[in-house]
Amino acid sequence: MTHRVSCALARKQCVFMTQTIAFVGGGNMATSLVSGLIHAGWSGQQITVIDRNADKREQLAGQYGVNVAEAAQGDALDVDALVLAVKPQVMGDTVRALRAELDDRRPLILSVAAGITLSALRGWLGEDFAYVRTMPNTPSLLGVGATGLFADDRTTADQRQLADAIMKTAGITTWVEREALIDAVIATSGSGPAYFFAFMEAMHKGAIELGLSEDSARQLVLQTALGAARMAVESGDDPATLRAKVTSRGGTTAEALKHFSEGNLDGLVAGAMQAATRRADEMAQQLSQ
């Protein structure tokens, strides 16, 4: 079976038709990417998942038909792209153990771990690899995620396309020009789902205080959030235009938005994102040691 990832050059045969990928770690993010790859048409024989958990290996092999391995060694590492999908806290030990096993292999190294810098990866694994650092978010588990990517100078155009094709199976992708901007991605889309969840939580409480039942409040808030997001994605209008379209002068919406403005909603959100960015930098320094 072939997959439906389009090539940048229409006349050129798609380089991904024979590419192979190994995931080091078979947790939620790796599983979501494996699922996305299979649904996009990739063959399970192109994919290997390396995980110590036998139940996890059995589940992935049975559900998706992928190759599985208990240890990152031998043929399991003979791939075009190696996706590092273990928890940030164990990334250092995991990557250092890979150094000898990779020997003279030079796959693209793709990290999906928050807070792990490319300088840390180079220190653990070596300079002679092409690295791409990514920051997906939790909606990637449903195939509606948002991922920021940064590639180092060793990464070729074909490797960038491969990295993009892998991450696009979990949602949309956007490339940043400087690695430092990954922290901005973390503050925007990485942590962003929690911002919306917190807002929905506040609306739910407010609706109950106004007299709605818990069930009615939940249904109305969630469907409103879904509808607003779909309008923002599908209408082609920017959020400011959409807001203006649903705000009548002197009406209820205008009164509610005035209350937000008086509470400095813009400043509160910007401050929260700046705090997230600072914390991302602090965590990166701690995890890189």
6 within domain boundaries: no
CATH number reported for the structural domain that contains residue 89 in this entry:
3.40.50.720
Is pLDDT above 60 for 31? yes
Q: What pLDDT digit, counting tens, does each position of 63-114 carry?
A: 999 999 999 998 999 999 999 999 999 999 999 999 989 978 899 999 999 8
Is pLDDT above 80 for 251? yes
20 within domain boundaries: yes
User: 152, 178, 204 — which closes off a domain?
Assistant: 178
How confident is the model at residue 5, as a pLDDT?
Answer: 44
DSSP letters spanning the chain: ----PPPSSTTSPPGGGG--EEEE--SHHHHHHHHHHHHTT--GGGEEEE-S-HHHHHHHHHHH--EEESSS-GGGG-SSEEEE-S-HHHHHHHHHHHHHHHTT--PEEEE--TT--HHHHHHHH-SSS-EEEEE--GGGGGT-EEEEEEE-TT--HHHHHHHHHHHHTTEEEEE-SSTTHHHHHIIIIISHHHHHHHHHHHHHHHHHHTT--HHHHHHHHHHHHHHHHHHHHHS---HHHHHHHT--TTSHHHHHHHHHHHTTHHHHHHHHHHHHHHHHHHHHHHHT-
148 within domain boundaries: yes
Q: What pLDDT digit, counting tens, does each position of 106-140 carry?
A: 999 999 998 899 999 999 999 999 999 999 999 99
The total domain count for the chain is: 2
The answer to whether residues 95 and 222 belong to one domain is: no
Is pLDDT above 50 for 8? no
The answer to whether residues 165 and 202 belong to one domain is: no
User: 178, 203, 225 — which closes off a domain?
Assistant: 178
The answer to whether residues 147 and 70 belong to one domain is: yes
Q: What pLDDT digit, counting tens, does each position of 213-227 carry?
A: 999 999 999 999 999
Domain that holds residue 164: 15-178
242 within domain boundaries: yes
256 within domain boundaries: yes
| Lowest-confidence pick of 13-22, 50-59, 229-238 | 13-22
5 within domain boundaries: no
The answer to whether residues 125 and 201 belong to one domain is: no
CATH number reported for the structural domain that contains residue 243 in this entry:
1.10.3730.10
Is pLDDT above 90 for 144? yes
